[in-house]
Amino acid sequence: MKKIFAANWKLHKTPQETREFFKVFLPQVRGLEAELLFFPSASSWEATAESLGNSENCKWGAQNIWYQGQGAFTGENSALVLSGMGAGFALVGHSERRQLFAEPAPWMKQKVAYLQSLQLVPVLCIGETLQERDSHQTKAVVEGQLREGLADADLSRRIIVAYEPVWAIGTGQVARPDQVAEVHRFLYSLLKGMGAQNFALLYGGSVKPDHASDLLALPHVDGFLVGGASLEPVSFLGICEKAEASSRAIRD
């Protein structure tokens, strides 16, 4: 499976800055053997769609969607519009949505199912807080979020799960390889046991070019969901290029 590198731009970049990023970035990743996913804020969807055109290895999606395509939902993003614009993906349940915007857990399964009904691939984000880790609840928390998020999913279709420990997001404190390995092994066996047939497991939380290789070498780490380090072409490229090195190492 090709490695997946996803850029979560959060509430950064104007449409013009988005176009400038791609002008620099795209020529450098032509031919790169990896799947690159971009999650711009809604105001840059159009700039992203136009910049990417029908790029082979770069696709895009939304950071959040509502689970109905239209109606009286002030301030929400329509997945119907997203799909009409040629996007392929959407994040569901990012910890900032869950924590800052108090998105309740039962919404996640509806968002996942709605995305799948539109042929969009959900990227379900799960992860424990520091308090939950310190009280040895990590596995129980991520299992609960995984099962809840996928409760109404069609498990024969493609699903991406991003393990993002809340304490590692935006803090500069990346999880240690043994911590990532333990949770990814656990999630992999849960997904297999649930009957998921086509899934990928990403790690997210303060990923920088420096530690990308160590984490990518772990079993069941299929790529990354990157926030801060995805904002500049050089740093995101520095992470994406590790894919070439890791697939070369496997081939040789």
228 binds ligand PGA per the rule CB under 6 A: yes
Select the span of 27-35, 77-85, 141-149, 220-228 touching ligand PGA (CB under 6 A): 220-228
Alpha-carbon distance 53 to 155, whole Å?
29
Q: Which stretch binds ligand PGA (CB under 6 A): 12-20, 126-134, 222-230, 243-251?
A: 222-230
Residues 43-82 binding ligand PGA (CB under 6 A) are none
Return the active site residues. Answer: 94, 164
Which residues within the stretch 158-177 sit at the binding site for ligand PGA (CB under 6 A)?
Answer: 164, 169-170
Of these, 206, 212, 220, 240, which contacts ligand PGA (CB under 6 A)? 206
Question: Which residues in 205-217 are b (16+ Cβ under 10 Å) and which e?
Answer: bbbebebbeebbe
Q: Judged by CB, which is closer to ligand PGA: 169, or 181?
A: 169
Least spacing, CB of residue 90 vs ligand PGA, in Å: 14
Stretch that binds ligand PGA, among 16-24, 69-77, 183-191, 205-213 (CB under 6 A): 205-213
Which residue's C-beta sits nearest to ligand PGA? 227
Q: Does 124 bind ligand PGA (CB under 6 A)?
A: no
By the rule CB under 6 A, 221 interacts with ligand PGA = no
Give the binding site for ligand PGA (CB under 6 A).
8, 164, 169-170, 204-207, 225-229
